[in-house]
């Protein structure tokens, strides 16, 4: 029996945003007003489902990026040796590091939230849920510059974020601005069906976990959004049920090997954070859920 259209329609709805907006504003205002950070060049912005408008009911943690712009992490891997040397020659060693910045951001957060049990995660400074706010992860990072040559031969760079997970001791690189812009563009190309469809699949993930069709952790919200980003635009639209079937059928027969993240720059399965096996398990669970719905 197919999943009712009414159920899929309910799953397509966006979750609340007022609480997320309030904690984001409070964090941003506190960091920008902090006297220690006032001499630093940094940006504060949302990333993830709240920025992308793909949050669902029950989503809680708000990801707030705090990116230092005066110090950056360069990536010259796309340049030849000669061009790399020229670009490197125009840079100088940093005097203010990510460790320095994270220390100062953490201190600023603790001053701004004095009655909260602030803790340090591997990638973020964690503000817990209280009666007055939902939880938030504050992510201090550097600008990441992926240098490349344009068709005209000039050198340019894609700007992202870079940080080190201090608990797992590994680097994390992402491109949240490009991810946001690509999601907006795909939403427009699909006559505004893309983001509601992402929310349907995120809610389906929760249902499958609760009913034992997939293991918890099989597919993160980021992974689901990136997976659907690779689905051709023409598979979206008309009705929730037909969109769900079209997307799942296309994914079930697709070669996932060269799928990209929504940022359009990184490969979806290249860094080990998600595997093709887990993606296939997620897709198989969707098919089983559809066929066995009661």
Q: Is 209 exposed, middle or buried (0-12, 13-18, 19+ CB in 10 A)?
A: middle
Is 9 inside a domain boundary?
no
Q: Do 112 and 39 have their domain in common?
A: yes
pLDDT at 60 over 80: no
Given 130, 150, 174, which residue is the final one in a domain? 174
Q: Read off the pLDDT of each residue in 186-207 and give the average, rounded to a whole number.
A: 97
Q: Do 56 and 72 have their domain in common?
A: yes
Q: Report the alpha-carbon distance of residue 60 to residue 117 in Å, rounded.
A: 17
Q: Read off the pLDDT of each residue in 54-77 and give the average, rounded to a whole number.
A: 90
CATH number of the structural domain spanning residue 123: 3.30.460.10
DSSP letter for each residue of 15-36: ---HHHHHHHHHHHHHHHH-TT
Q: Report the alpha-carbon distance of residue 112 to residue 215 in Å, rounded.
A: 38
Give the chain's domain count.
2
Q: Do 78 and 107 have their domain in common?
A: yes
Is 142 inside a domain boundary?
yes
Using alpha carbons only, how large is the chain's radius of gyration in Å? 21
Contact yes or no for 206/220 (Cβ under 8 A):
no
Given 174, 204, 239, which residue is the final one in a domain? 174
Q: Do 44 and 121 have their domain in common?
A: yes
Q: Report the alpha-carbon distance of residue 265 to residue 157 in Å, rounded.
A: 12
Q: Do 72 and 125 have their domain in common?
A: yes
What is the percentage of the chain residues whose pLDDT exceeds 90? 81
Contact yes or no for 33/15 (Cβ under 8 A):
no
Q: Do 169 and 63 have their domain in common?
A: yes
Count of beta carbons in the 10 Å neighbourhood of residue 158: 17
Contact yes or no for 52/8 (Cβ under 8 A):
no
Is 6 inside a domain boundary?
no
Identify the domain containing residue 142 by its residue range. Answer: 18-174
pLDDT digits (tens, 9 = 90+) for 3-50: 999 999 999 999 988 889 999 999 999 999 999 999 999 999 999 899
DSSP 260: B
What is the percentage of the chain residues whose pLDDT exceeds 70? 99
């Amino acid at each position: 029996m197919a999943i009712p259209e009414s159920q899929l329609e309910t799953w397509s709805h966006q979750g609340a945003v007022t609480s997320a907006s309030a904690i984001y504003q409070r964090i941003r205002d506190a960091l920008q007003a902090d006297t220690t950070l006032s001499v630093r060049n940094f940006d504060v912005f949302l990333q993830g489902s709240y920025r992308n408008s793909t949050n669902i009911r029950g989503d809680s943690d708000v990801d707030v990026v705090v990116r230092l712009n005066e110090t950056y992490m360069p990536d010259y891997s796309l340049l030849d040796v000669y061009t790399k040397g020229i670009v490197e020659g125009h840079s100088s060693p940093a005097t203010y590091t990510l460790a320095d910045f994270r220390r100062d951001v953490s201190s600023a957060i603790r001053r701004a939230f004095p009655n909260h049990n602030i803790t340090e995660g591997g990638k973020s400074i964690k503000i817990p849920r209280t009666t007055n706010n939902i939880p938030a992860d504050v992510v201090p990072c550097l600008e990441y510059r992926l240098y490349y040559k344009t068709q005209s031969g000039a050198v340019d760079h894609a700007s992202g974020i870079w940080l080190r997970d201090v608990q797992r001791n590994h680097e994390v690189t992402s491109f949240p601005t490009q991810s946001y812009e690509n999601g907006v563009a795909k939403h427009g190309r699909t006559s505004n069906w893309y983001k509601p469809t992402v929310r349907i699949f995120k809610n389906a993930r929760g249902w499958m976990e609760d009913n034992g069709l997939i293991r918890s952790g099989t597919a993160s919200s980021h992974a689901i959004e990136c997976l659907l980003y690779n689905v051709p635009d023409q598979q979206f639209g008309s009705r929730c049920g037909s969109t769900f079937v079209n997307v799942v059928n296309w994914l079930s027969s697709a070669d996932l090997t060269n799928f990209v993240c929504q940022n359009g720059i990184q490969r979806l399965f290249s860094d080990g954070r998600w595997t093709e096996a887990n993606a296939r398990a997620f897709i198989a669970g969707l098919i089983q859920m559809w066929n066995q719905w009661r």
